[in-house]
Structure formats: structure tokens, C-alpha cells
Chain A
Amino acid sequence: MRSHGTALSIGALFGAGLVVSGMAVPTRVIGFLNVAGAWDPTLLFVMASAVGVYALVSPRVLRRQKPLFSESFGIPKNRKIDRDLVLGAALFGVGWGLAGYCPGPALVALGAPSSEVVTFAVTMTVGMLLHSAMKKEPKAEPLVAASTPAE
């Protein structure tokens, strides 16, 4: 399907961007995050360039009637700054600072499998599944059912 071929190509383009920019090399990312060490500002320029292109061009895309392969543009509508957002970002930040991987670079680097990146990818997947499982869980029921006989 043309839609899937396009998705694959865009994924590959994004991956190429990660590789070319150096963001798929954790030591470079840690070099940026470790502001107390020999600071490597590369990530700043990568983000600035990415944001620059996206900010400049996406408004023009959004003026179109509809995307090529779907019915409407999906921009997140949630505007709340809530605990989940802040806590989630904090947990993510800690994980990112520890190993120097975030989801995109980790997946790209699976193309060059190493024990580090495979370990990360596996536990990242587990972490995501854990979140899904917790989200589905209803509020804890009382431990004692109404009709439990007295002990």
C-alpha cells in the first residue's frame, strides 16, 4: 500500500536524520546533557534546526484540506499541565540522562545491535507495557467483599 511505503520511507528519513546529526550516539547526547563536563552543544543545534524546519513548514501543510492518506489532521488537543505530564517527563529525563538513549535513537541503533541498545529497547518496551497495564487497572477494589463470612 502506498500509505505504508510512505510511512516506511518517512521512518527511514527520520532515522537518517538521527544518524547524520549524531543523535544516535549516546556519548554525544550525554556530552550535551552533562553540562558540568566538556560540554557538547551539538544536540542544541539539532533541535534548533529540526524545530526551525517544522515550525516554518508545518503551518502550510495544516492549511491543506486533509492529509494524503487519512481523513483529518490529528493535533493533540489536551492542553492540561497535569501531574502525569510533569512526572512522566521527569522520569523520562532521568532515564535519558542515565544512558543517553531516547526512543528514536534506540530504535535506529537496533540496526547495529549491541548488548546496550538491545537491553534498553527491551526494558523500554517493558516500561511502556507497564504503563498501559496500569492505565487499564481500575481503582483498587476493597480487599474484603461484602459477603465474605467472618473469619
Chain B
Amino acid sequence: MGSSSFLPALFGGALLGAAGVLLMWTHGRVLGISGIYGGALGRAPDRSFRLAFIAGLVASGMVAHWLLPTAPLGRSPTPLAIVAVAGLLVGFGTRLANGCTSGHGICGVSRVSVRSLVATGVFMALGMLTACMVHAVLGVRS
């Protein structure tokens, strides 16, 4: 790993943790993106809160893109057809598991929630297995 990514990784991670803490302080909620976004798709009574949060998320991406237009923000190296399948799996799977890397991986793990520890272990393991296989079969270079 290049030394260039170590400090930004720690700092960026701290921002993620801070955002989670702030959301708990202000709204009493777990910061789980699949939950916040998934719930916004339905008729949740707190829809406007969810939309505001997501708007902030997308806006930060827009600002980042504006500041660094050549940065590879969100460019997956995987063929589009497989990206489409990946989306279905992530959408369905996160709702079935009631969480993702933020909800389970950060918030749940911090609470030492057994459910989150199990979920995180499973999606990490499957993620690694899949990425290794995809790299070998498709030659997707990371």
C-alpha cells in the first residue's frame, strides 16, 4: 500500500465514524446507508429526513467531482452487465440482512452486536472470495 493512502484512510475513516456519532446524537439513528436509502424508497414517515441525508451524500460526491474531475470516483472496472447483477445482489442482500458496511460494519461492530459481527464476517468473506475469483476469471485489474 502506498504511504499516500494511509493517512487519508485514517482521516476519512474518522469522518465516517464522526458522522455516525453525530447522527446518533442528532436523530438517534444508526448510520446505515442501505437502511436510510432503502427506507426512502417506501412510505416511511420520515422520508424527508432520509431524502435530506441522501441529498447530502450525493452533494459531497458532486463537490468532490468538481474539485477533482479526473479522480476515478465510482468507476468500477467490472463489465457493465456484471455491475448490473452486482447491484441487484447488493440491493436485495442488504435489505435482507438489514444492513451493509456502514450499518453493520461500522455501527453494529462498534456496539459489539453479534448480529453485525456475523453479518460483517459473512459479507467480508464472500466479498473476498468473489473478488479473488472475478480477478482470476475476468482478469479485472485492481
Contact = CB atoms under 8 A, between A and B. Distances in A.
B60 A42 contact: no
Interface residues of A, number: 116
A64 to B, nearest CB: 7
Nearest to A66: B28
A23 B16 CA distance: 11
Contacts of B34: 103, 128
Interface in B100-134: 100-102, 104-111, 113-115, 118-120, 122-132, 134
Interface in B1-52: 1, 5-6, 8-31, 33-34, 37-38, 41-42, 48-50, 52
A126 B87 contact: yes
A77 B79 CA distance: 39
Interface in A73-90: 73-76, 78-81, 84-90
B30 A112 contact: no
* A interface: dominant SS: helix
Contacts of A88: 92-98, 119
Given A97-B134, A132-B41, A86 B90 contact: no
A58 B122 contact: no
